[in-house]
């Protein structure tokens, strides 16, 4: 009975704090999805119960203090949507000052820095794994169980066992609760606290076996979600040959991503990785590795069989698709040219706004209501980025292909040389637009009725004067290269000055056309990784590129939430 006392005490404390947390937060407007908010309350309760039952209250106090503070910081994110950039310095201060600096053997600056980075990586990956509701609980439960196997092989500090007990009990209780069809929401508060505690267990100084798990197990928590997501993206992208000119016409596979299958598969894979570490630790015979290999192969085969299925028909692409709240036109470059020609034949039809959208534009629209309104108001949104083509195929609504902005500019100019369309170019650094015009004129004699650089203040008197000049020039086509989102604001204001014409936001196309900035090699264009080449040339774009994983995660969440896929 004395051996069960710590477990019973921890379970009771977890349930009590869970109930208290529910009562305190049930009236709070927390928009975290379907379910009841629990935050870090169950985990803090489990930590208190485990510390008391193991007579380790004093030893656990530094870790508990940091856990409570991180739970509060996470709650600010859950309740008030405080930006992560604002919370980051506070989290670093809490982790370094109140925890690692007070743990035995972690007083050096290098240990503190490594501890902060380790805790941050684990928290990030728990957040990513939370895309699948049960996944954080599976990761925490399997990790803590594996560490207990290591604990059984020798003597370990009491507070280490208490912290690991708290993680294991909380994760198992939440898994049992979710098996009833209900949901409990940890939010950032619970994930911050859980990730920090897992890091604390792995960083406490111990014997060689525990140090091995201190590196091996948390590294799986960090890299497994990334590996799973990257594998699905690569398989789905090249499986349907989306790097080819007309990907929508050569579709061989449909992709299913049922939440339940993902949970089971991920749990099996993670267990296999954990048990591999255990086999190495206990110096198991070859048969153990063979049995584990068979389990791993079976799990992979089962997931692959449900994820990738042969298409039964090649249904024609729709005229439009909805993606993250934005309607995207399923058109080819030739169709865009035809629609431009038809629109210009209509008198006083107003200004037609064409947006060449990539994945970053869709992410911005999901974050900024004003930009989303502009995109929804545009007469045409064409798929510029390879990410959009991949997402459409992954969601089961394949597009006919890409409409790259740089190529579209050249194609429009070729048509203008035949039809006599008047073109106005605005944007880029001084002299860049003029160089681009010279290059485009080599395709044939084009009627450029105006060229201006983009160095003027937004919403200024100068901008208004420029808009009047554009209206006076009477262009049929206006190429606006002011960058996203400013070019879309500019075109939106331009509607008040023109009752005829087409305005297209083309980003940095003038830099490429003028050969000021080289375009990516053909093979990189075909594989849809021009952004990587652009990042190599312009490293300052790195912060913008961090939005690409955000787009991928939003698409995965949408895929998981589809009623049938």
Distance CA 194, CA 177 (A): 18
Q: Which residue has the higher pLDDT, 47 or 1?
A: 47
Helix/strand/coil for 392: helix
- Phi-psi region at 348: left, alpha or beta (left = phi > 0; alpha = psi -120 to 50): left
C-alpha distance from residue 415 to each of 207, 419, 446 (Å):
73, 6, 9
Query: To the nearest whole percent, how much of the chain has pLDDT over 70?
Result: 87
Mean pLDDT of 256-272: 76
* Residue ranges in 285-431 assigned as alpha helix (H): 286-307, 333-344, 359-367, 369-377, 386-394, 405-419
Q: Quick check: 133 pLDDT over 50?
A: yes
Residue 428 · residue 398 · CB < 8 Å: no
What does the alpha-carbon distance between residue 261 and residue 306 come to, in Å, rounded to a whole number?
8
The dihedrals phi and psi of 282, each to the nearest 5 degrees, come to -90, 5
pLDDT top residue among 526 and 485:
485
**CA separation for the pair 452, 428 (Å, rounded):** 8
pLDDT band, residue 152 (cuts 50/70/90)? low
- The DSSP bridge partners found for residue 481 are 427
Q: Is 91:102 a contact under the CB 8 Å cutoff?
A: no
**Res 262 pLDDT > 80:** no
pLDDT at 211 over 50: no
Number of alpha carbons in the 13 Å side-chain half-sphere of residue 387: 26
What pLDDT sits at residue 544? 75
Residue 72, judged by CB atoms within 10 A of its CB (0-12, 13-18, 19+), counts as: middle
**Cβ(417)–Cβ(424) below 8 Å:** no
Alpha-carbon gap, residue 9 to 2, rounded angstroms: 11
- pLDDT of 315 reads 59
Is the pLDDT at 205 greater than 60? The verdict is no
DSSP H or E segment with residue 329 = strand 326-329
In the predicted structure, residue 371 carries a pLDDT above the cut 60: yes
- To 10 degrees, the CA torsion angle through 114, 119, 124, 129? 130
Residues in Cβ contact with 520 at an 8 Å cutoff, skipping those fewer than 6 apart: 529, 530, 532, 533, 534
Query: Sorting pLDDT into bands at 50, 70 and 90, what band is 100?
Result: low
For the chain, how many residues are written? 565
Helix (H, G, I), strand (E, B) or coil at 502: strand
Tokens of 111: 């240990």
Residue 378 CA neighbour count, 13 Å, CB half: 27
Decide if 470 contacts 498 (C-beta within 8 A).
yes
Tell me: pLDDT of 555 over 70: yes
The domain segmentation of the chain, as residue ranges, is 5-307, 320-559
What φ, ψ does residue 331 adopt, rounded to 5°?
-130, 160
Q: How confident is the model at residue 271 (pLDDT cuts 50, 70, 90)?
A: confident
State how far the alpha carbon of 96 is from the alpha carbons of 63, 166, 244, 281, in Å: 11, 22, 50, 31
pLDDT at position 56 is 87
The answer to whether the CB of 388 falls within 8 A of the CB of 357 is: yes
Measured over the CA atoms of residue 499, residue 501, residue 504 and residue 508, the dihedral's sign is negative
Cα radius of gyration (the chain): 28
Answer yes or no: is pLDDT of 322 > 70: yes
- Give the pLDDT score at 416: 92
Tokens of 261: 């299958």
How high is the pLDDT of residue 17? Answer: 95
In this predicted structure, the answer to whether residue 210 has a pLDDT above a threshold of 50 is no
Q: What is the pLDDT of residue 198?
A: 83
Task: Provide mean pLDDT across the span 458-466.
Answer: 89
Q: CA distances (Å), 284 to each of 271, 275, 280, 462, in order? A: 16, 11, 7, 76
State the pLDDT at residue 212: 52
Question: Average pLDDT for residues 403-431, to the nearest whole number?
Answer: 90
10 Å Cβ neighbour count for 130? 23
Cα separation, 550 vs 297, whole angstroms: 31
Q: Is a pLDDT exceeding 60 seen at residue 105?
A: no
Q: What is the mean pLDDT of residues 122-138?
A: 79
Q: Which of 127, 270, 264 is nearest to 191 (CA)?
A: 127
Query: What contacts 376, CB < 8 A, 6 or more positions away?
Result: 325, 326, 327
Q: Residue 37: in which H helix or E strand, if any?
A: strand 36-37
**Which whole-number Å values give the CA distances from 227 to 222, 270, 394, in the listed order?**
9, 12, 18
Q: What is the pLDDT of residue 119?
A: 80
Per-residue model confidence as pLDDT tens digits over 420-432: 999 999 998 888 8
Band (pLDDT 50/70/90 cuts) for residue 374 is: very high
Q: What is the pLDDT of residue 317?
A: 62
CA dist., res. 78 & res. 130, Å (int): 14
Three-state DSSP class for residue 36:
strand
Contact assessment for residue 128 and residue 169, using Cβ atoms and an 8 Å cutoff: no
Q: What share of the chain is helix, strand, coil (3-state, %, to 5)?
A: 65, 10, 25
């Amino acid at each position: 009975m004395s051996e069960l006392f710590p477990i019973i005490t921890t379970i009771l404390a977890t349930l009590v704090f869970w109930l208290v947390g529910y009562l305190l937060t049930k009236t709070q407007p927390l928009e975290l999805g379907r379910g009841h908010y629990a935050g870090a309350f169950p985990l803090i309760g489990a930590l208190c119960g485990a510390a008391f039952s193991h007579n380790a209250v004093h030893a656990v106090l530094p870790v508990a203090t940091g856990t409570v503070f991180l739970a509060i910081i996470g709650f600010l994110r859950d309740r008030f949507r405080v930006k992560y950039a604002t919370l980051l310095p506070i989290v670093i201060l809490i982790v370094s000052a109140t925890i690692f600096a007070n743990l035995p053997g972690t007083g050096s600056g290098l240990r503190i820095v490594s501890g902060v980075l380790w805790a941050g990586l684990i928290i990030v990956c728990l957040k990513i794994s939370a895309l699948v509701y049960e996944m954080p609980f599976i990761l925490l439960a399997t990790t803590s169980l594996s560490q207990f196997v290591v604990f059984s092989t020798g003597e370990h500090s009491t507070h280490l066992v208490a912290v690991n007990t708290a993680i294991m009990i909380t994760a198992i209780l939440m898994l049992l609760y979710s098996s009833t069809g209900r949901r409990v929401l940890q939010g950032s508060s619970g994930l911050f606290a859980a990730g920090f505690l897992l890091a604390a267990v792995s960083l406490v100084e111990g014997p060689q076996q525990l140090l091995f798990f201190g590196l091996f197990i948390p590294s799986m928590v960090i890299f497994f979600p990334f590996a799973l997501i990257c594998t699905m993206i690569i398989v789905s992208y090249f499986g349907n040959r989306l790097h080819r000119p007309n990907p929508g016409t050569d579709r061989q596979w449909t992709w299913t991503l049922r939440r339940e299958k993902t949970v089971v598969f991920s749990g099996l894979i993670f267990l296999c990785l954990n048990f591999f570490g255990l086999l190495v630790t206990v110096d198991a015979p070859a048969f153990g590795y063979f049995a584990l290999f068979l389990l791993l192969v079976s799990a992979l085969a089962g997931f692959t069989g449900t994820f990738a299925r042969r298409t039964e028909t090649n249904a024609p692409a729709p005229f439009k698709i909805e993606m993250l709240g934005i309607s995207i036109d399923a058109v080819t470059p030739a169709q865009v040219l035809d629609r431009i020609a038809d629109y210009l034949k209509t008198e006083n039809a107003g200004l037609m706004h064409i947006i060449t959208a990539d994945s970053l534009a869709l992410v911005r629209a999901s974050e900024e209501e004003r930009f989303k309104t502009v995109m929804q108001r545009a007469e045409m949104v064409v798929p510029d980025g390879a990410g959009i083509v991949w997402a459409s195929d992954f969601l089961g609504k394949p597009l006919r292909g890409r409409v790259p902005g740089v190529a579209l500019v050249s194609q429009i100019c070729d048509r203008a040389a035949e039809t006599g369309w008047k073109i106005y170019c605005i944007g880029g650094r001084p002299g860049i637009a003029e160089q681009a015009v010279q290059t485009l004129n080599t395709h044939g004699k084009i009627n450029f009725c105006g060229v201006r650089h983009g160095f003027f203040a937004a919403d200024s008197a100068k901008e208004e004067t420029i808009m009047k000049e554009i209206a006076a020039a009477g262009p049929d086509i206006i190429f606006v290269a002011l960058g996203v989102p400013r070019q879309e604001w500019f075109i939106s204001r331009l509607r008040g000055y023109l009752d005829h014409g087409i305005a297209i936001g083309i980003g940095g196309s003038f830099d490429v056309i003028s050969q000021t900035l080289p375009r990516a090699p053909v093979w990189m264009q075909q594989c849809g990784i021009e952004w990587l080449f652009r990042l190599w040339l312009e490293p300052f774009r790195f912060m913008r590129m961090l939005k690409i994983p955000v787009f991928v995660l939003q698409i995965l969440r949408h895929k998981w939430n589809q009623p049938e896929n």
